[in-house]
Amino acid sequence: MSIQFKSITELRAMLDDKSISSSELIQESLQLAKKYKELNCFVTMNEKISVKKASSIDLNEKTNSTLSGIPLAQKDLFCTEGLRTTCSSKILSNFIPPYTATAVEKLEDAGSITIGKTNMDEFAMGSSNETSFFGNVHNPWKKGYVPGGSSGGSAAAVSAGIVPAATGTDTGGSIRQPAAHCGITGLKPTYGRVSRWGMIAFASSLDQAGPLARTAEDCAILLNAMSGHDSKDTTSLNSNVPDFLENINQPIDGLKIGIIKEFDISDLDTDVQACFEDSKKNYESLGAQFVEVSLPNISASVPTYYSIAPAECSSNLSRFDGVRFGHRAENTNDLNDLYIKSRSEGFGDEVKRRILIGTYALSAGYYDAYYKKAQQVRRLIKNDFDDVFKSVDLLMTPTSPNTAFKFGSKGTQNPVELYLEDLFTISSNLAGLPAISIPHGQVNSLPVGLQLIGNFLREDQLLNASHIFQKNSDFHLAKPNLEDF
Amino acid sequence: MDQETVRTICYLARLEIDEEKSEKIQNDLETIIELIGSLQNIDTSDTEPLFSPLEMTAFKHEDIENSDNRKDKFLENAAASNEDYFLVPRVVE
């Protein structure tokens, strides 16, 4: 029986009833990665070590972890000891980390097997996976179309059924938007829920790691393993981690869902609107109640983000100087020349653009007008969320204003055009809130995502509402046909 | 934003922009700055900045001595090193 498109829960059952061994499962997953090489999901494979780990799991009969022997893919932004980690950038194209990120370590400690590192927008800067040094990732639903970004390789690998789940990171929508474009489920946890240690930083006050999977149930399995306090990350929350599977099946009678007045969905494609209206009806039939809420400052999220994220990025990426790791330019005259040439050769255009914006926003004379101002507006946005969560449990929006688009069709003339892709996702990063994207329809044979935003640390409510939706619909079961790959 | 400002920012960020891309970069930066500039219309006179969504005091480690010396491992990733140091072009004549 093929393992392609199987969920973690299904694969666990196959492993437990011995219809497949862990070695067979890993071999098949690696074979699928090779078969669909043209999707360009992976930057580096981890074949030898994964085969070895699988055979050692087969030899050890005592397995009590859900993730034991399950193949996973890791976004190539998580440091993995001994396994090349590039952030899809030329500047890190030869980097072999001396340690493993906590989130990956926890998943591997739970028995999962990393089969490879996935392609992404360079340093997670992008919404289409078109900024990778290693080339574009194709959307499994349509060749030549973007998978979304920045976790595009992870989303495509799960969507194509190569692995049942993968890790991603989300700074402004980088888990949810590719999940939406590839027809899978993606969860951005509360800021601080999952350790950032060993994640190559883009914007430290916004970055958060999370799972991409075929179902909300599988996201809960991954989140259970990834979450928890880590003394190596000073922003890691020291709070209780519930079992996210335990209450996933609760009825949602009386669940109050807010619709954000300021997001005018009548501006969207009519088919995308229709999916949204249908999902409202679905939720109503399951017992949820809808109320209109106002977040007066939410429309300022995009400009706020594009001041804060580049500022943090310009500071974080100053560590790439060609001296201690990564690409170093040859034939340089002096130390300053070495810095300039190594960075200029190593970074792509979008990364350079964001470093320059951040440097400008943080420079003397502009700091108050751009950076501080954005952080003040950020508080207003967070205050708006605090207010609405006094009266609703969740908020519901589309994940993205549109479906996946053709390579090169957005943002080439004007970068802001691509930045607006994140219109619905950015605000939860600014406020540190958890949010999930689940598939809820198709337009022109391309998936459409529905976003639910939860209150601080309420991933349990998001997963519960998503699971109940998936139990009562089959959008998450749709598969791309992949015949063009 | 003029070319001189773009050159200054590039130097501060230790980046060099190809001559043929310089006008495009200047235009892109202007567009993005215009986007960010739209925040000026929002009244934030009594609002404290929110630098992190957590607003908690950073967690502190126990100060425990650790004898794990991984110098060799860290030097392996450098393009140029000797047994003790990262090597760079001569700084002091």
Tens digit of pLDDT for each residue in A113-152?
999 999 999 999 999 999 999 999 999 999 999 999 999 9
For residues A198 and A395, give the distance between their C-alpha atoms in angstroms, rounded to a whole number.
Answer: 31
Catalytic residues of A: 75, 150, 174
Nearest to B50 among A306, A322, A382 (CB): A382
Q: What is the pLDDT of residues A338-348, one digit of tens each?
A: 999 999 999 99
Task: State residue B64's pLDDT score.
Answer: 83
pLDDT band at A103 (very low <50, low <70, confident <90, very high): very high
Residue A63 has pLDDT above 80, yes or no: no
For residue B7, being part of any structural domain is answered with: yes
B64 contact A CB<8A: no
Residue B32 C-alpha from the chain's centroid: 18
Pairwise CB contact (< 8 Å): A321 & B80: no
Residue A447 has pLDDT above 80, yes or no: yes
Mean pLDDT of A152-157: 98
Task: State residue B65's pLDDT score.
Answer: 83
Q: In angstroms, what separates the C-alpha of B41 from chain A's closest C-alpha?
A: 10
Non-local CB neighbours of A139 within 8 Å, separated by 6+ positions: A145, A146, A147, A148, A156, A159, A181, A182, A404, A446
HSE of A163 in the Cβ direction (CA atoms, 13 Å)? 34
DSSP state of A405: -
B28 contact A CB<8A: yes
- Assess contact for A184 and A476: CB atoms under 8 A: yes
Cα nearest neighbour of A238 on chain B:
B59
Residue B1 has pLDDT above 90, yes or no: no
- Assess contact for A431 and B53: CB atoms under 8 A: yes
For residue B93, being part of any structural domain is answered with: no
Residue A223 has pLDDT above 80, yes or no: yes
For residue B33, being part of any structural domain is answered with: yes
Residue A109 has pLDDT above 80, yes or no: yes
For residue B12, being part of any structural domain is answered with: yes
For residue B21, being part of any structural domain is answered with: yes
For B27, the domain range is 3-40
Residue A201 C-alpha from the chain's centroid: 14
How many interface pairs between A and B have CB atoms less than 8 angstroms apart?
168
Residue A155 has pLDDT above 90, yes or no: yes
Q: In angstroms, what separates the C-alpha of B67 from chain A's closest C-alpha?
A: 16
Task: State residue A139's pLDDT score.
Answer: 98
User: Taking CA A54 as the corner, what is the angle to CA A51 and CA A59, rounded to the nearest 5 degrees?
Assistant: 125
pLDDT band at A60 (very low <50, low <70, confident <90, very high): confident
Pairwise CB contact (< 8 Å): B36 & A307: yes
Q: What is the pLDDT of residues A184-196, one digit of tens each?
A: 999 999 999 999 9
Task: State residue A110's pLDDT score.
Answer: 96
Q: What is the enclosing helix (H) or strand (E) of A398?
A: strand A394-398
For residue B64, being part of any structural domain is answered with: no
Nearest to B15 among A323, A327, A343 (CB): A343
Q: What is the CA radius of gyration of chain B?
A: 23
For residue B57, being part of any structural domain is answered with: no
Cβ-based neighbour number of residue A291 at 10 Å: 11
Tell the residue number behind the tokens 């800067």, with chain if given. A125
Overall number of domains in chain B: 1
Pairwise CB contact (< 8 Å): B89 & A374: no
Pairwise CB contact (< 8 Å): A416 & B32: yes
B12 contact A CB<8A: yes
Helix-helix angle A349-362:A301-316, to 10 degrees: 100
Which domains does chain A carry? 1-485 (3.90.1300.10)
Cα nearest neighbour of B34 on chain A:
A303
Task: State residue A9's pLDDT score.
Answer: 96
For residue B62, being part of any structural domain is answered with: no
Structure tokens at A468: 């109940």
Mean pLDDT of A388-417: 93
Mean pLDDT of A222-249: 94
Report the percent of chain A where pLDDT is more than 90: 93
Q: What is the pLDDT of residues A290-317, one digit of tens each?
A: 999 999 999 999 999 999 999 999 999 9
- Assess contact for A130 and A408: CB atoms under 8 A: yes
Instruction: Using alpha carbons, select from A401, A417, A407, A405 the residue that is nearest to residue A449.
Output: A401
Task: State residue B22's pLDDT score.
Answer: 87
Q: The pTM is what?
A: 0.97
